[in-house]
Amino acid sequence: MPFRATVLTLYPEMFPGPLGVSLAGRALDRGEAVLETRQIRDFGRGRHRAVDDTPAGGGAGMVLRADVLADAIDAASPEGDGRPRLLMSPRGRPLTQSFVRELAAGEGALIVCGRFEGVDERIIEARGLTEISIGDYVLSGGEIAAMVLLDAVIRILPGVMGNDQSGVHESFEAPFLEHPHYTRPAEWAGRPIPEVLTSGNHGAIERWRRAEAERLTRERRPDLLRRGAGKTNGDDL
């Protein structure tokens, strides 16, 4: 069974968007992953199919209604559907490669995209939504965040990356950021490729890459090293 993602959104026309090209696009074309969208407004209330209302207690903006979202979720993922239910949210658990791997190993995901001020808190509890954040900044909606998550998941699904090795040495798959890459021409704008990479000495190349990965991680993301050698980024969440 392919990985199946169901995205609940007020803007289904945003999909597949960037997921329709390159690696993810090919995976969707070949059926290695399935992406479906559901229009939350189809479950709106009244003649105008209202999906939101003013915040209880006052304040700016609008809040997505729990009853509307419940109907949308229940229609998209009936009882017994084992897929995790996610809500894209800046308050959520930070998205990491280890969570991406966990999702990719499963059947798929139901993803709710917030808009406006967010969603009525009661739907999170009542439908067991796991809040996931893609970073410490605020987007105008959950759609782009959902695409980020799905792009990360789809590229590591079995068979999607041509060379199965190409996922192994990347940033976050080890406790280190990835080493630098070079390609032809051998010299460009007065800058040669580091000699070791053209030496043909595979042991030396491997040692150089490892040393560079460690150096970059120490310089840029010492927090990854503190999370524990031998552990993968995010395993301690």
Strands 108-113 and 85-94 come out as parallel
Nearer Cβ to ligand SAH, position 27 or 134?
134
Contact of 120 with 63, CB cutoff 8 Å: yes
Nearer Cβ to ligand SAH, position 65 or 115?
115
Nearer Cβ to ligand SAH, position 9 or 217?
9
Distance between alpha carbon 95 and the CA centroid of its chain, in Å? 7
Binding-site ranges for ligand SAH (CB under 6 A): 88-91, 113-115, 117-118, 133-135, 137-139, 141-142, 145
Q: Is 40 annotated as a binding residue?
A: no
Q: Is 190 annotated as a binding residue?
A: no
Contact of 65 with 45, CB cutoff 8 Å: yes
Backbone angles phi, psi at 38, to 5 degrees: -125, 135
Q: Is 134 annotated as a binding residue?
A: yes
Nearer Cβ to ligand SAH, position 2 or 55?
55
Closest CA to 6 of 125, 132, 141, 107: 107
Q: How far is the CB of 127 from ligand SAH (least distance, A)?
A: 15
Q: CB-based contacts of 224: which residues, under 8 Å, 6+ apart?
A: 175, 176, 177, 217, 233
Q: How far is the CB of 115 from ligand SAH (least distance, A)?
A: 6
Q: Is 139 annotated as a binding residue?
A: yes
Annotated binding-site members for S-adenosyl-L-methionine = 114, 134-139
